[in-house]
Amino acid sequence: MGDPKYPRRVWRKPKRPLNYDLKMEELKTLGTFGLRTKRELWKAHTELSRVRHQARSLLALRQEVRAEKEPILLKSLNRIGLISGDATLDDVLNLTANDLLSRRLQTIVSNKFNFKTPYQARQAVIHGHIMIGDRRVNIPSYVVTTDEENLVKFSPESKIPAMLEKSKDSQEKVEVTESAEATESAEATEN
């Protein structure tokens, strides 16, 4: 049987966790992208740190070795949509955690299907209402490649599209009545 294998930790805490400005920035990012815990943000920072470390080590290599290994890194980052096709290692070093968080399935679903909050999009993903191509994906932190981005859709048995449409229609009716009331009150004040 042997001993069980425990997974390796894939995140590192910030060096100064009690820094007020850092805490406020983290909370703002959590709300913007609908993250459940700060650990998800720390995972993004750690992954970004790993990628930037690879880019810095490639810059230190000789030109022949660098010409061989640089396209591999750039191609992998281009595939997930972090950089453009004609990017350089300097563009890799300029990446931020927000760039990485914007490629998560939760964020793409939130933007594509116009959910009110990213937390609603997260719930739709977790409950299995989202498909990528033929397969159902229920992991909000799944990094969507550029090829898969157009294949993101609702599952056929999901009732969420009808609910979103209904809420959108009711919201439009409220906006129309509010604008009509505003024009009526403006006309009444003129008379």
Say what the alpha-carbon torsion angle 62, 65, 70, 76 is, to the nearest 10 degrees.
Answer: -150
CA dist., res. 151 & res. 50, Å (int): 29
- Domain borders along the chain are 1-103, 104-176
The string of pLDDT tens digits covering residues 1-39 is 678 888 888 899 999 989 999 999 999 999 999 999 999
Mean pLDDT of the chain: 91
pLDDT, residue 51, reads 96
pLDDT the model gives residue 1: 60
Confidence of residue 178 (pLDDT cuts 50, 70, 90): confident
Calculate mean pLDDT across residues 99-103: 96
Tell me, rounded to whole angstroms, the distance of Cα 50 from its chain centroid.
Answer: 18
If residue 74 lies in a helix (H) or strand (E), which one and from where to where? Answer: helix 63-79
The three-class DSSP label of residue 63 is: helix
| Rounded CA separation 121/95 (Å) | 25
Residue 52's pLDDT band (cuts 50, 70, 90): very high
Tell me what percent of the residues of the chain surpass a pLDDT of 90.
74
The pLDDT of residue 71 is above 80: yes
Confidence check: pLDDT of 185 > 80: no
CA distance 140 to 155: 15
**Domain spanning 104-176: which superfamily?**
RNA-binding S4 domain (3.10.290.10)
pLDDT 10s digits, 117-163: 999 999 999 999 999 999 999 999 999 999 999 999 999 999 999 88
